[in-house]
């Protein structure tokens, strides 16, 4: 077999293997995206600061009447 033909076949084989590896990683990423989305939401909810309680609006006289 001529050397140039062998080099072309080896190059095409390497490109094919690269495409299969890329496809496998792409399918793995699509499969795991719902799990990642759930973990991301859980971490986001855990790190957001809680809102402070509402302060009742009123005057000093209202406070004096209650206490």
* Tens digits of residue pLDDT in 1-58: 799 999 999 999 999 999 999 999 999 999 999 999 999 999 988 888 877 666 656 6
Task: Tell whether 32 is covered by a domain.
Answer: yes
Report how many domains make up the chain. 1
Other Cβ atoms closer than 10 A to 64: 8
> Residue 32 sits in which domain range?
20-44
Task: Tell whether 30 is covered by a domain.
Answer: yes
Task: Tell whether 35 is covered by a domain.
Answer: yes
Task: Tell whether 40 is covered by a domain.
Answer: yes
pLDDT at 9: 97
pTM score, two decimals?
Answer: 0.55
Task: Tell whether 8 is covered by a domain.
Answer: no
Task: Tell whether 67 is covered by a domain.
Answer: no
Task: Tell whether 66 is covered by a domain.
Answer: no
Q: How far apart are CA 33 and CA 42, in angstroms?
A: 14
């Amino acid at each position: 077999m001529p050397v140039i033909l062998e080099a072309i076949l080896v190059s095409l084989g390497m490109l094919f293997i690269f495409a299969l590896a890329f496809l496998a990683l792409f399918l793995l990423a699509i499969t795991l995206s719902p799990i990642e989305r759930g973990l991301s939401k859980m971490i986001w909810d855990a790190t957001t600061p809680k809102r402070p309680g509402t302060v009742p609006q009123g005057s000093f006289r209202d406070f004096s009447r209650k206490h």
